[in-house]
Structure 1
Amino acid sequence: MSFQGEQHPGVETPPAETEGFRLNHTMLRIKDPRTSLAFYTRVFGMRVLRRLDFEEMQFSLYFLGRPETGETLPEDAGERTVWTFSQRGLLELTHNWGSEEKAGRLYHDGNAEPQGFGHICFSVPDLDATEAWFDANDVEFVKRSDQGKMKNVIFVKDVDGYWIEVVQADRLSALGDQASR
């Protein structure tokens, strides 16, 4: 029998009606698309897969991802929209038009009081090289890989102050409570 997920109080067997459900994207509100897009495309190597504008409501959505090498994306905008909403693990940046003209940070990062949303996470192939890359690109650190109680985990901030966890998967096998293995 294949692994069916850890069992904890409150966990229920997924109903058949949920077959095929998948997490598509996480949304962050951004102040200025120019600086946010520069950050995520330059520092994390993401690509804008689709931009959707909603003129009547005065906002734009930017869907970012990292297609696999050799993966072909649809050229047709409608087909690419359908493709975008069928993917896993995308980042949606929502820009409310005119927010870039306002002073200071506009959105709560979720880590200050009252706490709520915490962070997004990227897995990287080489944590040490990534940490050096962040230094070379003046990325703001919350925590470096050798700091704090959780070693081999980096936290940085994006241009809007949202926290980003960065991990190297093969360095995390001993993370957390090992009794639950």
Structure 2
Amino acid sequence: MAFSGESYPGTVKERPEETEGFTLNHAMMRVKDPEVSLAFYTGVLGMKVLRRLDFPEMEFSLYFLTCLQDGDTPPEDTGERTAWTFSQRGILELTHNWGTETDPEAKYHNGNDQPQGFGHICISVPDLDRAIAWLDSNGVDYVKRPEQGKMKDVAFIKDPDGYWIEIIEPGRLKGLGQ
């Protein structure tokens, strides 16, 4: 029998037919300085920029990033790659409102300060110890190291804008929450 999802009060057991094909494509976070953020996400977390979309009339740019896997082949043609990007799963959209990089007052709420809201994104890695060594060598700012706190084998780091990023190795989490 196929997995049909866990059931809790408020969940709908049967997926509405009208939602067939719906896919969570991306989550968006605003960034103060795209050069600094892109260096972090591409250089430290290994993500690739799939597309940049500029909107001069509204003075902002969008950067769509993901962790490409072996076999992922984004199209070379920009129009085709744009459509391909919006058909994927696990995309991170960084939004840059022009001018924030030079505005000393510009700062975004990280979602974890009060009042809380958005919490974090998560990157799963094949080897947590190796990933932590890499992050350490890049001087990342930790919220929580994997050996700290009650929840072991889970790390939280901060990006240049203070957003939290959870770092996990899926195989280590089999007993989580039990």
Counterpart position of 2:144: 143
> Separation in 1 of the partners of 2:52 and 2:97?
13
Q: Aligned-pair distance for 1:109?
A: 0.3
1:1-181 mapped onto 2 (5 Å cutoff): 1-12=1-12, 13-103=14-104, 106-176=107-177, 178=178
On the 8 A contact 2:144/2:156 being kept in 1, the answer is yes
Q: Aligned-pair distance for 1:63?
A: 0.1
Q: Aligned-pair distance for 1:56?
A: 0.3
On the 8 A contact 1:28/1:94 being kept in 2, the answer is yes
Q: For 1:7-30, what per-residue CA distance to the aligned partner results, in whole angstroms no more than 9, with x for missing partners?
A: 000000220000000100010000
TM-score (norm 1): 0.96
Unaligned runs of 5+ in 2: none
Q: Aligned-pair distance for 1:110?
A: 0.5
> Separation in 2 of the partners of 1:90 and 1:71?
13
* Percent identical: 65
Q: Which moved more, 1:70-79 or 1:137-146?
A: 70-79
Give the total of aligned pairs. Answer: 177
CA RMSD of aligned residues (A): 0.9
> Separation in 1 of the partners of 2:71 and 2:21?
25
Q: For 1:67-95, what per-residue CA distance to the aligned partner results, in whole angstroms no more than 9, with x for missing partners?
A: 22132211111111000000000000000
Unaligned runs of 5+ in 1: none
